[in-house]
Amino acid sequence: MHMKDANGRFVRPSIRSVLMISFVLLAIIATAVGSYVAGLCRIAATKTVTLQVDGTTQAVETIALDVAHFLDQQMVVLGSFDAVEPKPEEKLYDGAVVTVTRAVPLTLIVGGERETVYSADKTVADFLSARKIEIGEFDDTFPAMTDPIVSDMMIIVDRVVKETVTETVVVPSPEQRRPNGSMQRGETRVVSKGKEGSAEVTLERTIRNGVEESVNELSRKVLVEATPTVVEYGTYAVLSTSRGDLRYSKVLDITCTAYDLGYASCGKYPGDPGYGITASGMRAQRGVVSVDPKVIPLGTRLYVEAADGKSWCYGYAVAGDTGGNIKGNRMDLFMETHYEAIQFGRRAAKVYILE
């Protein structure tokens, strides 16, 4: 290498000058090569990543190396309970899908204790697992473990415990009741006093959230047999009438009609065999009524009055006859004349079965 001096003459440059020029050239070349290589690296490091957040999906080109830096670049701020997949520390790759799930408020009730929490989990099972809430053998959960998490959801875990215990219990004396026709309804008397017994019982107690919910008897072994207390009760009632008090055992609602000894009622004329004789053998007369024996047995003593107890009264009667049309709660009252039978017509009655 030669250089000209001030007089135009070629002179040999010094070694120092040559070195300096060489260093400058090398620096220029290194800068150009570095810029070219950096450009190639930048092109090689660019990735296309799918970002899913807040209900939107978009494809993004990025040179971020991991998920955390990628979210920072996209200005996606994560809340304390938000979830992101893949994890923030994981490396990004071309074609990756980054999903941000926002936490929603929930009401959690465990063992009766209520609190408000936030979760970005997918299902109830995921939520309980994330909070390390274990479900016991008899515990109840609501809703189903597979249900998806939604905002303002209520998740209930009832703590259920089943205990089996064996204990001795008192067996009360059972009451043995029997009717007494000489006693009025509502009256009772103890004929003989029984004794209590005892038994060994095995029980299963179900306790929900610390409160006993139910008790089921699994087995029972009698230790001492209880003896019954015998109680008699009255069966007759008293009807107060203008003719005195009447004792009765039962009262029926009956539809009453009337009949007489005319052919239209009994199908016979005077002088015909059996004329005026009822099915029970009694002579047809006032106070002998026709009944359905399936409802009122023949021979039963009766007292018949209006259903309202005041508009009319037939009085004492005996179930002494039957009739083809007298079925169920029907009754035919004997009248002395055909005119009375026609005038009576059809009426609602109370019929008392007398003692």
Give yes or no for residue 241 having a pLDDT over 90.
Answer: no
Q: How confident is the model at residue 37 (pLDDT cuts 50, 70, 90)?
A: very low
| End-to-end Cα separation, the chain, in angstroms | 156
For the chain, the helix, strand and coil percentages under 3-state DSSP, each to the nearest 5: 15, 50, 35
Can you name the CATH fold of 104-158? Ubiquitin-like (UB roll) (3.10.20)
What is the spatial distance between Cα 330 and Cα 340, in angstroms, rounded to a whole number? 19
CA atoms within 13 A on the CB side of 233: 9
162-233 domain in CATH 3.90.230.10? no
Is residue 74 a contact partner of residue 120, using CB atoms and an 8 Å limit?
Answer: no
Is residue 85 a contact partner of residue 53, using CB atoms and an 8 Å limit?
Answer: no
* pLDDT number for residue 64: 94
Tokens of 165: 């215990």
Lowest-pLDDT range of 12-26, 85-99, 217-231, 322-336: 12-26
What is the tens place of the pLDDT at every residue in 65-96?
Answer: 999 999 999 999 999 999 999 999 999 999 99
Q: Which residues pair with 35 in a beta bridge?
A: none
Helix (H, G, I), strand (E, B) or coil at 38: helix
Tokens 């003692």 belong to 355
From the list 334, 211, 340, 219, the residue with the least C-alpha distance to 277 is 334
Domain range list for the chain? 3-44, 47-101, 104-158, 162-233, 242-354
Q: How confident is the model at residue 12 (pLDDT cuts 50, 70, 90)?
A: low
Is residue 187 a contact partner of residue 234, using CB atoms and an 8 Å limit?
Answer: yes
Tokens 């300096």 belong to 20
The CATH code of the domain at 47-101 is: 3.10.20.30
Residue 214's CB: how many other CB atoms inside 10 A? Answer: 10
Residue 265's CB: how many other CB atoms inside 10 A? Answer: 19
Q: What is the dihedral of CA 184, 190, 191, 194, to 10 degrees?
A: 150
What is the spatial distance between Cα 194 and Cα 127, in angstroms, rounded to a whole number? 61
The architecture that CATH gives domain 242-354 is Beta Barrel (2.40)
> Residues 126-131: what's their mean pLDDT?
95
Residue 29's CB: how many other CB atoms inside 10 A? Answer: 10
**CATH fold match for the domains 47-101 and 242-354:** no
What is the spatial distance between Cα 280 and Cα 291, in angstroms, rounded to a whole number? 11
